[in-house]
Structure 1
Amino acid sequence: MGDIEPIRRGPAPLSPHPTPAATPAPALVRFDRRELDRILDLYGRMVAAGEWRDYAIDFLKDKAVFSIFRRSFDVALYRIEKDPKLARRQGAYSVVSQTGLILKRGHDLPRVIAVLEKPLKAIG
């Protein structure tokens, strides 16, 4: 009968090591709803035209990236990037090609992604 430990009441003892939940996660850069609406509108039109087939979204601590693929297993054809550190300088938004060439950079997302629009063709 001497082997039974008494029931302890009260708060649990604090651990000297912080738990993973106790450390705050780093803030991630994200596209807001308005930005995603613009990007997905363009993406939907290009899918309907048969140009693009897949996409991926990455939220990193320094930038947000919307990658566009011609086929699911290919390298990204284009990347639409949002980098807030460049917002006061060249502009937070940029479109980067598959080779890493920056096609357009600026402060206004619709103008930046307009570089990916296909020109209208005359039917005649």
Structure 2
Amino acid sequence: MNLVTPPPFVRASPPEQVAFDRAELGVILALYGRMVAAGEWRDYAISSLREAAVFSVFRRTAEHPLYRIEKRPRLRARQGIYAVIAMDGRVLKRGHDLKTVLRVLEKALIRPVD
């Protein structure tokens, strides 16, 4: 039985686009559901691009996104693969753990009781 193995210098081609996996989407959609129930968010969009996967959150459908949750695998060794970016382009949080990065958005759920 002769198994054909590729030579060690042949690289696998990079993926055509970056996407969120099922576990990542579960974490993001759990937060999204809580924010919709609180009346903060109303719509979302998912983009799978060559360099990044982006989950955009909207207050209304026709607006610019309030926040973008980005997954950029190329930044894995640097600042972290995940980032939360505000509407004005500020990076609110960046890191390697999605749940930790999303905590910056959960602060909107904590409100003082009158």
TM-score (norm 2): 0.82
Query: Of residues 96, 105, 112 in structure 1, which corresponds to 2:94?
Result: 105
Query: Of residues 42, 51, 54 in structure 1, which corresponds to 2:40?
Result: 51
Counterpart contact for 2:69–2:85, Cα < 8 Å = yes
2:110 aligns with: 120
Counterpart contact for 2:46–2:53, Cα < 8 Å = yes
Is 1:90 paired with 2:83? Answer: no
Structure 1: how far apart are the matches of 2:37 and 2:110?
Answer: 14
- Determine which structure has the larger helix proportion and give its number: 2
**Structure possessing the higher radius of gyration over alpha carbons:** 1
Which blocks of at least 5 consecutive residues in structure 2 are unaligned? Answer: 1-14
Which blocks of at least 5 consecutive residues in structure 1 are unaligned? Answer: 1-25
How many residues of Structure 1 are paired with residues of Structure 2 in the alignment? 100
Amino acid at match of 1:55: Y
Aligned residue for 2:26, secondary structure, equals helix
RMSD over aligned Cα atoms: 1.6
TM-score (norm 1): 0.76
